[in-house]
Amino acid sequence: MTAMNHFTILTDDLPATLAFYEEHLNLKPGARPPFTFPGAWLYADGGKGREPILHIVAGINKERLVKGVLDHMAFSGKGLAAAVAKLKRENVKYDLRRLPEYGTWQLFFHDPNDAKVEIDFDKAEAAPA
């Protein structure tokens, strides 16, 4: 193994899921094979990333959107204050923590499908207001 390739989430609401990940992680849809089921592949850096890092499989019944053994997906980010402001503006509940000894900021929240998302920010970033 050389690296993590991607995460896949399931959704019953593709437009809301796409909007959420674009708004809060700047992930945008890009090239995706012509599968027989709906969905999207999301790319980092506003869609300029070379490899898709989040796959979305759509058209899933709400009853199948249950948590399994995967606890959360984590991303590296910049702009802690702006990220927290967006979550507040959208009324998304979040938990902000600081790693003891390391100082890394960890921002946790849930997407519209109840998947837990973490964004890690450099310890040099200022605490949000």
Domains and CATH numbers, the chain: 1-60 (3.30.720.120), 72-129 (3.10.180.10)
Residue 73's φ and ψ, nearest 5 degrees, are -115, 140
Q: Which strands, in side-by-side order, build the sheet including 52-57?
A: 7-10, 52-57, 39-43, 28-29
CA 24 to chain centre: 7
**Which pLDDT score is estimated for 79?**
95
Predicted confidence at residue 1, as pLDDT, reads 61
Phi and psi (nearest 5°) for 96? -110, 125
pLDDT tens readout for residues 4-44: 789 999 999 999 999 999 999 999 999 999 999 999 999 99
Q: Average pLDDT in the 63-71 region?
A: 76
DSSP 43-103: ETGGGT-SSEEEEEE----GGG----S---EEEEES-HHHHHHHHHHTT--EEEEE-TTT-
pTM of the model: 0.85
